[in-house]
Copies of this chain bind each other. A is one copy, B any other.
Amino acid sequence: VAAAVRTFEPRDPDWDRKVRESFARQPFTQLVGFQISDLQPGRMELTLPMRAELTQQHGFAHGGVLATLADIASAYAGFSLMPPDSAPLTVEFKLNLLAPGKGDSLIARGEVLKPGKTLTVCETRIFAIDEGQETLIGTALVTMMCLMGMKD
C-alpha cells in the first residue's frame, strides 16, 4: 500500500550503535552472510550476496534464508525504537514466498508498522536483484516484544 515515508523518533539516543552491536553478535546471521546496508530509526535494510550453499533443490534461495532475512530486518527495525536497557524478542512471523529467489543478491527491507511499549509490529519486503532488476520475492509480518530491564 503506497504511503508517504514515515519518520520515527528513537527512544534511545544510542540506538544506532546498540543495533549494530547486537546484530554483530548473532552467529547464525554471520553463517548466512548478510550485512546491514541501511539503518534508520524504525527501518533496516539487509543485503545478502547469493551463493550456492543458500539454495534449495532447484537452485533458488532457500525459504529458510528468506525467513531469516525477514525476521532480522524486522527485529532490528523494531529494536531501533526500543528504550535503553531492553532486549528484542521475536514473538512470531508470517512469510509469503512470492517468486523464486533467483539472482546475484537479496535485499530485505524491514520497517516498523506500529511501535508499542510491549509489542511492536513490523513488515519486511524481500527482493531478488538479478542483472540490476529488483523483483519482490517475499513479504512478512513480524511481531516483536520488548523485554525491559534486560541488556540485549
Task: Write the residues of chain A forming the contact surface with B, with a CB cutoff of 8 angstroms.
Answer: 1-6, 22, 25-32, 52-58, 62-65, 67-69, 71-72, 75, 87, 89-99, 109, 111, 113-114, 118-119, 121, 123, 125, 136, 139, 141, 143, 145, 152
A26 touches B119 (CB 8 A): no
Majority SS at the chain A contact face: mixed
Given contacts A1-B123, A98-B114, is CB(A62)–CB(B26) below 8 Å?
A: yes
User: Nearest 6 pairs between A and B by C-beta?
Assistant: A64-B68, A67-B67, A28-B62, A94-B94, A25-B57, A98-B114
Oligomer copy total: 4
CA gap between A87 and B56 in the complex, in Å: 12
Residues of chain B within 8 A (CB-CB) of A68 are 62-65, 67-68
Residues of chain B within 8 A (CB-CB) of A114 are 96, 98-99, 136
